[in-house]
Amino acid sequence: MHGFPFTRRSFLASALAAGGSAILAGPAARAAAPARAPERKRSGALRVAAIVTEYRPWSHADVIVGRFIQGFSLDVSPHWSPVPIRAMYVDQFPETDMSRGLARQYGFPIVKTIREAILDGSGKVDVDGVLLIGEHGKYPENDRGQTLYPRRRFFEETAAAFEAAGEVVPVFNDKHLAARWEDAKWMYEKAKAMGIPFLAGSSLPLAWRRPWLEVPVGTPFDEALSIGYGGLDAYGFHALETLQCMVERRRGGEAGVKAVQCLEGKAVWEAMRAGRFSRELVAAALRRHDPPIEGDFEARCPEPVAYLIEHADGFRSTCLMMNPLAGRFLFAAKLTGDAGPAACQFWLQEPTFGHFSYLSNAIMEMVRTGKPPYPVERTVLTTGVLSVAMDSRFEKGKRIETPDLVIPYAPADHDLGAYRHPEAANDRSGGWIQLFDGRGLDGWRENRFAGEPRWGVVDGVLTGHGGQGYLATFEELQDLELFAEIRISDTAGGRGNGGIYVRCQPHLDRKVEYPPGYEVQCDHGDPNNPTGSIYNLGAPGARAPMPRVKDGEWFTLRVRAEGNRLRTWVNGEPAADCTDPQGRYRRGYVLLQLHHRTGKVEVREVRARRLA
């Protein structure tokens, strides 16, 4: 059973110690007594309370709470929910309401208050988590064009129930915390003060990415942007989360935001031409659109909106809303030391809304463990940026400084997103991940030492020549099987020398020649480490026999890494079979190496698959 006791007795004692009359003094005083990690004793299966604005087909209640009620799949196999609904509070009942029928079918009550959904008849917390779905329904708009969903009210009444019981459990808040920063700030600070495990945000950070792209934590960035579509508030939030889930991974982590400005129409393209954000990145992102958007995007999108974001560490990022030209969520970045932009589409599985399965799975992970799998500060920050952007727009594009948004935090690595989840990742071409598509360098980071070598695609062949350097994937793999078809040669008449690394460690410092990892040697003339050897491992079986293949001939290389055991095959013949007793590299990237300055490496195919 996962929870956060403080017992009621310890809650009262700590509250009195904090101020003598904290229980009677109101919300600000009550927040002074944070919860301590408890050991709740309620027996039975985990279950949650669902607090929703309305429950109709395709509403957020349907695509999130519905997965708790009815189960879901993660690309491959069904995952029947281990976290059923104890009770549901519904704020509005449209004609297409589903909640009452589901309640009859699945045996949970629809209650009249949020307190009733969380507490039992004796006033004790009777759930292991709370879902706050404050999206959809008929609610007023403010003068900024933002719908005033009752998200703060939902959270406030949830916190009041916890305070009455003297105990807290994890809470998930769907989408941004609130329309206005003042409400969001109150919610964030209240959760911290009470020790509530708090998760929030969009499904976009957990969606598929086409092509696969995850920036390694600690990577230095030069610039980044996202592109979105739809309403500036409701969908602008998704575009901001698309951006933030990537840029938070930059070197040093997220430092917070010091200023925000919203521009519209021709002022956006004027800002681009003035160098405030990169035209090259806009073009790179649009090429990831489905279908790709090429050519003069300025003329085809005369009324864009841009949220220009100044981070506290000096980094700048941009969120563009490109109605009606764009209809996808896109990302592009210039990573320090890379030859070209990295870009992808955040792909949504519609109309089945599979991306919400991954969000629901992340929420369930928090309910099971009692710990958010990634920091709520991401959504706190995007909520604040959006609120201030709407103020800037209301004030005709005024730049607004944001001292409250200087909220630093570190990103979290996890395997919960569709782009990384083992089942989703293996559901590609029978489990094989094609690392080279025959057209370009998608999915690879290009490193050039002193501006060399040059990697490119010639007649469908991935080719590196003209110096020392490497290509490395963005995708990390742990236990894996890799297959490649390679040719090595040397333009000066010597022998070719290259290699393929597996479990290569994060290649963050672009001045380091070759990052550590297991190198499978590709050098037919090296008597100490022939092709197929695990280079310089020094373990029995790491040295392969001399291959029969010669320079200038195509050969196949197969690599299998399982735990500490490494095996290779050259042209189908066993080569190396060894164990690293130290188990130095557990997971990492695939890297293609060109070692000789006069050498040439050609790759017709390279693919990998995860092993169970």
Read out DSSP for 517-532?
SEEEEE-TT-SSS-TT
φ, ψ at 57 (rounded to 5°): -55, 135
Which pLDDT score is estimated for 425?
A: 58
Task: List the Cα angle 478/201/385 in 5-degree steps.
Answer: 115
- Interstrand relation of 221-228 and 329-335 (parallel, antiparallel or unpaired): antiparallel
Residue whose token pair is 């693919």: 607
- CA dihedral (467, 473, 478, 482) in degrees, to 10, reads -70
Which pLDDT score is estimated for 426?
A: 54
With 0-12 CB in 10 A as exposed, 13-18 as middle and 19+ as buried, what is 176? buried
Q: Is the pLDDT of residue 6 over 80?
A: no
Q: Is the pLDDT of residue 524 over 80?
A: yes
Which pLDDT score is estimated for 4?
A: 32
Q: Give every CB contact of residue 254 below 8 A, 6+ residues apart in sequence.
A: 244, 247, 248, 311, 377, 378, 381, 407, 408, 409, 410, 411
Sign of CA dihedral 229, 233, 234, 239: positive
Q: How many CB atoms lie within 10 A of CB 210?
A: 15
CB 154 within 8 A of CB 161: no
Structure tokens that stand for 93 in this block: 């009942």
Which pLDDT score is estimated for 430?
A: 58
Structure tokens that stand for 9 in this block: 């007795």
| Residue 292 binned pLDDT confidence (cut-offs 50, 70, 90) | very high
DSSP class per residue in 316-366: EEEEEE-TTT--SEEEEEEETT-SS-EEEEEE--TTTTTHHHHHHHHHHHH
Same fold, 8-201 and 430-610: no
Find the mean pLDDT for residues 39-66.
86
Q: pLDDT tens digit string along 544-560?
A: 999 989 999 999 999 99
CB 497 within 8 A of CB 596: yes
Q: pLDDT tens digit string along 161-197?
A: 999 999 999 999 999 999 999 999 999 999 999 999 9
| Residue 34 binned pLDDT confidence (cut-offs 50, 70, 90) | very low
| pTM, full prediction | 0.83
Which pLDDT score is estimated for 246?
A: 98
Name the residue ranges covered by the structural domains of the chain.
8-201, 207-346, 430-610
Which pLDDT score is estimated for 433?
A: 83
Query: What three-state secondary structure class fits 367?
Result: helix
Q: What's the maximum distance between 2 C-alpha atoms anywhere in the chain?
A: 86
Find the mean pLDDT for residues 138-142.
97
In CATH, the number for domain 8-201 is 3.40.50.720
Q: Is the pLDDT of residue 523 over 80?
A: yes
Q: Is the pLDDT of residue 57 over 80?
A: yes
Nearest in space to 257 (alpha carbons), one of 388, 86, 138, 381 = 381
**Alpha-helical regions (H) of 107-209:** 114-118, 151-165, 181-194
| Residue 77 binned pLDDT confidence (cut-offs 50, 70, 90) | low
Query: What is the percent of the chain with per-residue pLDDT over 90, rounded to a whole number?
Result: 72
More confident residue, 580 or 509: 580
Which pLDDT score is estimated for 224?
A: 98
Which pLDDT score is estimated for 126?
A: 97
Q: pLDDT tens digit string along 573-591?
A: 999 999 999 999 999 999 9
Query: What is the percent of the chain with per-residue pLDDT over 70, rounded to a whole number?
Result: 88
Which pLDDT score is estimated for 32?
A: 35
Q: pLDDT tens digit string along 472-490?
A: 888 888 999 999 999 999 9
Listed range (164-173, 248-257, 461-470) with the worst mean pLDDT: 461-470
Which pLDDT score is estimated for 27?
A: 30
In CATH, the number for domain 430-610 is 2.60.120.560
d(CA 321, CA 343): 17
Q: Is the pLDDT of residue 33 over 70?
A: no
Listed in order, strand segments (DSSP E) in 124-275 are 129-133, 171-174, 198-201, 208-210, 221-228, 257-264
Which pLDDT score is estimated for 307?
A: 98
| Residue 274 binned pLDDT confidence (cut-offs 50, 70, 90) | very high
| Residue 76 binned pLDDT confidence (cut-offs 50, 70, 90) | low
Q: Is the pLDDT of residue 504 over 50?
A: yes
More confident residue, 516 or 387: 387
Rg of the chain, C-alpha, whole Å: 27
d(CA 607, CA 325): 34
In CATH, the number for domain 207-346 is 3.30.360
Which pLDDT score is estimated for 150?
A: 98
Which pLDDT score is estimated for 107?
A: 94
CB 277 within 8 A of CB 318: yes
Query: Within 13 Å of residue 179, how many CA atoms lie on the same side as its CB?
Result: 20
Residue whose token pair is 């695939």: 590
Find the mean pLDDT for residues 418-435.
70
Listed range (224-228, 282-286, 386-390, 513-517) with the worst mean pLDDT: 513-517
Nearest in space to 66 (alpha carbons), one of 55, 54, 53 = 55
Which pLDDT score is estimated for 423?
A: 63
d(CA 456, CA 539): 35
Which pLDDT score is estimated for 38?
A: 43
Q: Give every CB contact of residue 1 below 8 A, 6+ residues apart in sequence.
A: 39, 40, 41, 42, 43, 46, 128
Q: Give every CB contact of residue 350 below 8 A, 6+ residues apart in sequence.
A: none
| Residue 427 binned pLDDT confidence (cut-offs 50, 70, 90) | low
| Residue 24 binned pLDDT confidence (cut-offs 50, 70, 90) | very low
More confident residue, 429 or 103: 103
Q: Residue 503: enclosing H or E segment and its boundaries?
A: strand 498-504
Nearest in space to 416 (alpha carbons), one of 468, 462, 371 = 371
| Residue 443 binned pLDDT confidence (cut-offs 50, 70, 90) | confident
Q: Is the pLDDT of residue 58 over 60?
A: yes
Which pLDDT score is estimated for 510?
A: 61
Q: Is the pLDDT of residue 372 over 60?
A: yes
Distance separating the N- and C-terminal Cα atoms of the chain: 28
**Average confidence score pLDDT of the chain:** 88
Which pLDDT score is estimated for 9?
A: 28
More confident residue, 8 or 177: 177
